[in-house]
Amino acid sequence: MEGGGSIVAFRRTSMLARHLSQATAPCQSLLEGSPCLQYVPPEANSEKPVFDVAVMRALMDGHHVELRDKVFGLMRKDKLFHLKTVRDTTYLSADYGDTLSEQREKTLQRVLYLRDSGMFKGAVTNSPEQFLNTSAVFECMALFDHSLSIKAGVHYHLWGGAIMFFGTKRHHDKWLKPTEDISIRGCFAMTELGHGSNVRGIETVTTYDPATQEFIINTPCESAQKYWIGGAALHATHTIVFSQLHIGGKSEGVHAFICQIRDSNGQICPGIKIADCGHKIGLNGVDNGRIWFDNVRVPRENLLNSVADVTPDGRYESAIKDPDQRFGAFLAPLTTGRVVIAVAAVYQAKVALATAIRYGLSRRAFSLTPDQPEVLLLDYPSHQQRLLTLLARTYAMSASANKLKQIYAFRTPADAKTIHVLSSGLKALLTWHNIRTCQECREACGGQGLKTENKVGQLKAEYDVQLTFEGDNNVLMQQVSKALLADFLSALRRKKPIKSVGLEYMNGPRPIIPANLGSALLRNSKFQVTLLQLRERDLLERLAADVMDRVSRGTPQAEAANQSYQLAGRLGEAFAEKQVLEAHLETENQQTGPLKDILGLLRSLYVLSVVDESPVFLRYGLLSSTQSQIIHQEVAALCRELRPHALALVESLGIPRDFLGPIASDWIEYNSYKNEQA
Amino acid sequence: MEGGGSIVAFRRTSMLARHLSQATAPCQSLLEGSPCLQYVPPEANSEKPVFDVAVMRALMDGHHVELRDKVFGLMRKDKLFHLKTVRDTTYLSADYGDTLSEQREKTLQRVLYLRDSGMFKGAVTNSPEQFLNTSAVFECMALFDHSLSIKAGVHYHLWGGAIMFFGTKRHHDKWLKPTEDISIRGCFAMTELGHGSNVRGIETVTTYDPATQEFIINTPCESAQKYWIGGAALHATHTIVFSQLHIGGKSEGVHAFICQIRDSNGQICPGIKIADCGHKIGLNGVDNGRIWFDNVRVPRENLLNSVADVTPDGRYESAIKDPDQRFGAFLAPLTTGRVVIAVAAVYQAKVALATAIRYGLSRRAFSLTPDQPEVLLLDYPSHQQRLLTLLARTYAMSASANKLKQIYAFRTPADAKTIHVLSSGLKALLTWHNIRTCQECREACGGQGLKTENKVGQLKAEYDVQLTFEGDNNVLMQQVSKALLADFLSALRRKKPIKSVGLEYMNGPRPIIPANLGSALLRNSKFQVTLLQLRERDLLERLAADVMDRVSRGTPQAEAANQSYQLAGRLGEAFAEKQVLEAHLETENQQTGPLKDILGLLRSLYVLSVVDESPVFLRYGLLSSTQSQIIHQEVAALCRELRPHALALVESLGIPRDFLGPIASDWIEYNSYKNEQA
């Protein structure tokens, strides 16, 4: 097998040698413009696609493919979206060298342009089809620039979503129309200086005055100042304020209120104070601000009352009596954010990989022997493993992001728990994957990865926020484990079969992994599912035993879970990675022919690289060292097999070439002196 | 043990509960300025240091402690270095929200200020003491801002270093004085658009004209344009040009020439074309540019002739006949860059950790049970493992960076190979560690990590370049393995004991790891050295077998090594991590008392976290799964033990508080509305 790979590699090298000898033609003067190291495009260094790229692209995007192309077309039409034109190519990107205020102003103008183009029609309509439609538009916006999608997302998803889901008819009637057409501009004031992930701890206090039937919102101290509020620094006119509600001296927990913060001329309203969050490592197109409320009065009707209400005479009313349950029901709609973030993360990993792989198919470095031509980066086995394992993961995660979106779009109340656990685990897994992928791709592009116009390096800074907003990733993974543990312990206690988010297989016997792992078995999907189930099950059983052991020695359960963090973190990861495999398989199984075959290769590389990199299999004896060595080698073999398909696979990701940095195209032409603006 | 830890944790929690109950005093109005969530400084949440912080700091800095304080003091004296003053604290930092041209201009002015303050006296004098002196100044500059140290480093280390090491007396006499006082401004044109790490492939061509006794430097094609040349875009007047030298139609390989590119008024010289590299993800204080040479003539004396020369009548002369050896000798001085980068990387990891740990000792999130106060971040065992393992690594790596600096400063020609291998391995290991640490610390600071004024998030972008400049990290690690493999195979062939960079232990028997690993053994330094030696040895033997096996099946050796990339990469890492341990031990063994004890704990956490995270020990059967589980738990135990010392350990890192972002100090006061500028 290795020998075979070697011959293939050699044949390729000779082919490349021919390419290069044609491409290398020494010349005299730089002014003649005939380079000696000619740009040979990735296409010339790749095989023809063996599968239908358009079909694969539709599969990756999942829905609304035409709409996506329409959004890209709209952006191409307006200079607001153009970074630079070199010869006949216009590159679409925000300019990350712009000043803070330029970036903010341009981002707003881009949102308004897309509104004027009708892209947000129905954006605050609560229907599955509409959710997917809006998602497609937002995914294209994020491909252009994260600030653009976040700026619009704060207004439509956070402010608009709060009106839709926390509010009732009175709010819908009054606020949804001006929200859709952006005649008001909303923001979402939940986070405070002193409290982020722990929303229950926020310190803003709201009381009720029956005499005037108004709520009085107050920032009692500096740590209660609202912080990171997107849109607050400059553009927002209204906000949703999250606040402790005190009624008759009793605290009823966190509730949300509508409050105007600026008038239609942009003047800050009385009682409101605002400051800028200032320059950030990325997302500078979003004007994050801080807000203080000095006993600001809002009408009683401004309480978003889907879960609880206050009567005109000041009685607190809620159908949900338990404060914990009420808080849970109240915050449930916030899962939208995690769904959207998980999806956006995968798309950015696609941008990074499309860039780095195209560059790796057009850039050479070092000769193996002095008389040979330099080797194409992607023909280095090490480079293949760096990038192709991440490409395989991105494909599988793309399937899981699409599945999550569908589950979320067509959700029923019974799905609440599944969505909470799934969105938590996938948000954490996919955003970490994105940052890792962007970092690896930046390094794989060398110095070119550092130029912001090439995007790949800048993506890290733009998307880093995903790791901690809408729930810190580590906290989310612990929440996943907590939910699985609770279900497991409850089944144990009740001596009933376990029913949980995909844990039903645990009611069957523990599988046995064969000692001899051949390539065929390693690439068998049933075996792969078993392998990832085995890890999840083992970690869950270990976590339960570990926590119970600590409890039996006198540690309170919450602290015991805290101390078992090592297992809990790994369990969250194991859960999410297994979910990704299952989603990928669902997609794969609906295909036929070469497309199915290639998805199978990607799946195998996904699973085996996950197993290869996870310390858990060996640490807990789920695999022997011999087995793990075979898997390690199989990862390299799969990378070799996927190499000829690398270009077709990145072309299928649905990222138009002009939305990638110039480094993904003819970078020698792009850098030619004649194309320099004076 | 676990029970004991739990009790300690509980005692701490009660202590904290008291703190918090004192700190929490509800108040009414935001205008009174008395916050309900009071800032409790890290000192109040920590034990008193059990070791002498000043002594530890001197150990970490290694040399020139007073000089460092002097440099910090100089920066404090001039507004050029001030970011913001809030109450009585002035924070020192570059403003990363400045425009590109502001950042470049301020960076230049800061360099000139430090020159005027005498900080670069003797900077281009070739003596060990002077090298260490200059290093200390540069390390302090990098603590302020990476652009500042790189801007000055390009001039003094690259340009000045090239004059010192590639040049001879005629160059020293003419160029060193104006270099020291910056009456000329140098840059260093090695990298081209088409060739970075592979310097031998550059395409710039220089010929010789005996009639005028001049060299003619030419950029024959666009891929040969000089790229990323720091200083070229705006400020540099002179450059070192790396070029192929063609003499009498024969190529003599890469040589370096001095060439003026701007006159003293800043006008670009005839025949030179310059373009800007533009906006980057970081380091925007450095004006990277691109240079084209249109048959530019320079005097014969401008060839830097330490290794080879051309006679007036045009004969090529070199004492080193073999072109490979000549190229090696020629580039040897470039190791300076790798040494300096490795050291700078560790310092930035210190900045990130000092910030995140101080914040983790002053920020709380979530209560374990509803009636308890929120838990301090660093009292979460998971948070301890995230940060304290990286702190332990940073301590150990600091020792290795100091050792590398000493070896380099006092080098003899016999040390060339050691320095090449050591600086390659440590540059890669320490810079990857730095980026990982900055990322982890950014996440550990939550949203605050995203504000550029808090530095920790911005550091990632500023230092990312380290991973690929002066040699791509992956390439460097392969070079380490290649050197070790060559020594190993040569010893095998000659049937002689191996002599290499620290591989002599391989002449002894292969050690046996006891089945039962108790805490005492795990913390034993001899055992730890054995463990890391065993891994290095095993990987080297496997790599040799793997390569030889491929060769025996007909694969050429270079390609065989290429295909064995999985083992080669791990071997480079194993080598570097073992070197780090040995350096730490050398430092530790010179200490006594509590300081030695704490260094011992750090060493154990360093080694065990390395073993815990490396997949190699289990994959190749060097440890059993039971043994690895014990090590996994010991890592957690060590983190618990180090928690009380965390503050003292970051205070010993030698980073003044005012050089950290505001988040490391009273972040509630800093964010108070009254401190907002209008």
Q: In whole angstroms, what is the distance from residue A54 CA to residue A72 CA? A: 16
DSSP state of B268: B
A17 in reach of chain B (CB within 8 A)? no
B473 in reach of chain A (CB within 8 A)? yes
Opening angle at CA B429, ends B426 and B432, nearest 5: 140
Which of 177-216 (A) contact B at CB < 8 A?
191, 193-198, 201, 203
Which of 362-391 (A) contact B at CB < 8 A?
365-369, 374, 380-382, 385-386
A9 in reach of chain B (CB within 8 A)? yes
pLDDT tens per residue across span B483-514:
999 999 999 999 999 999 999 999 999 999 99
Would you say residue B576 has pLDDT above 80?
Answer: yes
Would you say residue B12 has pLDDT above 70?
Answer: no
Cross-strand pairs, A207:
A216, A246
Exposure of A259 in the CB half-sphere (CA atoms within 13 A): 32
Asked whether the whole model's pTM tops 0.90, one would answer yes
- Does B230 carry a binding-site annotation? yes
Task: Please tell me whether the interface predicted TM-score (ipTM) of this complex is above 0.90.
Answer: yes
The CA distances from residue A484 to A490, A503, A555, in Å, are 10, 8, 20
Asked if A133 and A67 touch (Cβ cutoff 8 Å), the reply is yes
Mutate to test the interface with B, among A375, A382, A627 (most CBs of B within 10 A): A382
Q: In whole angstroms, what is the distance from residue B202 CA to residue B447 CA? A: 44
CATH class for the region spanning A1-77+329-495+516-673: mainly alpha
Mean pLDDT computed over B318-341: 87
Lookup: tokens for A548: 């119970």
Residues of chain A with Cβ-Cβ distance to B365 below 8 Å are 195-198, 201
Mutate to test the interface with B, among A37, A433, A622 (most CBs of B within 10 A): A37
Residues of chain B with Cβ-Cβ distance to A556 below 8 Å are 368-369
B68 pLDDT band, cuts 50/70/90, is: very high
B435 in reach of chain A (CB within 8 A)? yes
Sign of CA dihedral B122, B126, B132, B134: positive
> Residues spanned by CATH 1.20.140.10 within chain B?
1-61+327-504+524-672
Nearest Cβ partner for B277 among A451, A612, A667: A451
Residues of chain A with Cβ-Cβ distance to B196 below 8 Å are 365, 446-447
Q: Give me chain A's average pLDDT, please.
A: 93
Lookup: tokens for B157: 């280390």
> Residues spanned by CATH 1.20.140.10 within chain A?
1-77+329-495+516-673
The pLDDT, as a whole number, for residue B36 is 74
The pLDDT, as a whole number, for residue A15 is 39
Q: In whole angstroms, what is the distance from residue B168 CA to residue B172 CA? A: 6
- Does A207 carry a binding-site annotation? no
The pLDDT, as a whole number, for residue B677 is 61
Q: In whole angstroms, what is the distance from residue B382 CA to residue A478 CA? A: 10
Sign of CA dihedral B73, B78, B79, B85: positive
A472/B446 Cβ within 8 A: yes
The pLDDT, as a whole number, for residue A564 is 97
Would you say residue B19 has pLDDT above 50?
Answer: no
B460/A281 Cβ within 8 A: yes
B374/A27 Cβ within 8 A: no
Q: In whole angstroms, what is the distance from residue A677 CA to residue B454 CA? A: 36
A677 pLDDT band, cuts 50/70/90, is: low
The pLDDT, as a whole number, for residue A48 is 94
> Residues spanned by CATH 2.40.110.10 within chain A?
102-305
Would you say residue B21 has pLDDT above 50?
Answer: no
DSSP state of A155: I
Neighbour-count burial of B474, counting CB atoms closer than 10 A to its CB (0-12 exposed, 13-18 middle, 19+ buried): buried
> Residues spanned by CATH 2.40.110.10 within chain B?
185-326
For chain B, what is the total number of helices (H) and then of strands (E)?
23, 15
Nearest Cβ partner for B30 among A219, A439, A569: A219
Residues of chain B with Cβ-Cβ distance to A27 below 8 Å are 220-221
Q: What is the DSSP string of A510-529?
A: PP---SS--HHHHT-HHHHH
A292/B227 Cβ within 8 A: no
A668/B194 Cβ within 8 A: yes
Mean pLDDT computed over B502-530: 97
pLDDT > 70 fraction of chain A, expressed in percent and rounded: 95
Closest CA to B286 of B530, B106, B71: B106
Asked if B487 and A307 touch (Cβ cutoff 8 Å), the reply is no
Which of 584-613 (B) contact A at CB < 8 A?
612-613
B221 in reach of chain A (CB within 8 A)? yes
The pLDDT, as a whole number, for residue A676 is 86
- Which residue has 């330490």 as its token pair? B306
Q: In whole angstroms, what is the distance from residue B386 CA to residue A138 CA? A: 34
Is residue A642 classed as helix, strand or coil in its secondary structure? Answer: helix
Q: Which of A139, A470, A577, A588 is catalytic?
A: A470
Which amino acid, A355?
A: T
pLDDT tens per residue across span B277-302:
999 999 999 999 999 999 999 999 99
pLDDT tens per residue across span B335-357:
899 999 999 999 999 999 999 99
Asked if B33 and B672 touch (Cβ cutoff 8 Å), the reply is yes
CATH number corresponding to A102-305: 2.40.110.10
Residues of chain B with Cβ-Cβ distance to A385 below 8 Å are 565-566
Q: Give me chain B's average pLDDT, please.
A: 93
Buried-state track A382-420, b at ≥16 Cβ within 10 A, e below 16 = bbbbbbbbbbbbbbbbbbbbbbbbbbbbebeeeeeebbb
Active-site residue, A43 included: no
Exposure of B447 in the CB half-sphere (CA atoms within 13 A): 22
Mean pLDDT computed over A247-254: 92
The pLDDT, as a whole number, for residue B333 is 77
Would you say residue A11 has pLDDT above 50?
Answer: no
B34/A221 Cβ within 8 A: yes
B91 in reach of chain A (CB within 8 A)? no
Residues of chain B with Cβ-Cβ distance to A671 below 8 Å are 193, 222, 225, 227, 290
pLDDT tens per residue across span A441-454:
999 999 999 999 99
pLDDT tens per residue across span A279-312:
999 999 999 999 999 999 999 999 999 999 999 9
B442/A294 Cβ within 8 A: no
The pLDDT, as a whole number, for residue B20 is 37
B461 in reach of chain A (CB within 8 A)? yes
CB A651: neighbour CB atoms within 10 A? 21
Mean pLDDT computed over B202-210: 97
Residues of chain A with Cβ-Cβ distance to B619 below 8 Å are 618, 625, 628-629, 632
Nearest Cβ partner for B625 among A10, A621, A636: A621
The CA distances from residue A284 to A106, A467, B441, B619, in Å, are 11, 17, 21, 45
A38 pLDDT band, cuts 50/70/90, is: confident
CB B357: neighbour CB atoms within 10 A? 29
pLDDT tens per residue across span A465-524:
999 998 899 999 999 999 999 999 999 999 999 999 999 999 999 999 999 999 999 999
Which amino acid, B109?
A: Q
Would you say residue B579 has pLDDT above 50?
Answer: yes
A531 pLDDT band, cuts 50/70/90, is: very high
**Has domain B185-326 been given CATH number 2.40.110.10?**
yes
Report the gap between the CA of A49 and the closest CA in chain B (Å): 26
Helix, strand and coil percent figures for chain A, each rounded to 5:
60, 10, 30
B616 pLDDT band, cuts 50/70/90, is: very high
The pLDDT, as a whole number, for residue B226 is 98
Nearest CA in chain B to A555: B6
B569/A382 Cβ within 8 A: yes
Q: In whole angstroms, what is the distance from residue B472 CA to residue B464 CA? A: 11
Mean pLDDT computed over A597-609: 98
- Which one of A296-305, B324-333, B409-418 scores highest in mean pLDDT? A296-305
CATH number corresponding to B1-61+327-504+524-672: 1.20.140.10
Q: Which of A24-38, B63-77, B131-145, B278-292 has the lowest mean pLDDT?
A: A24-38
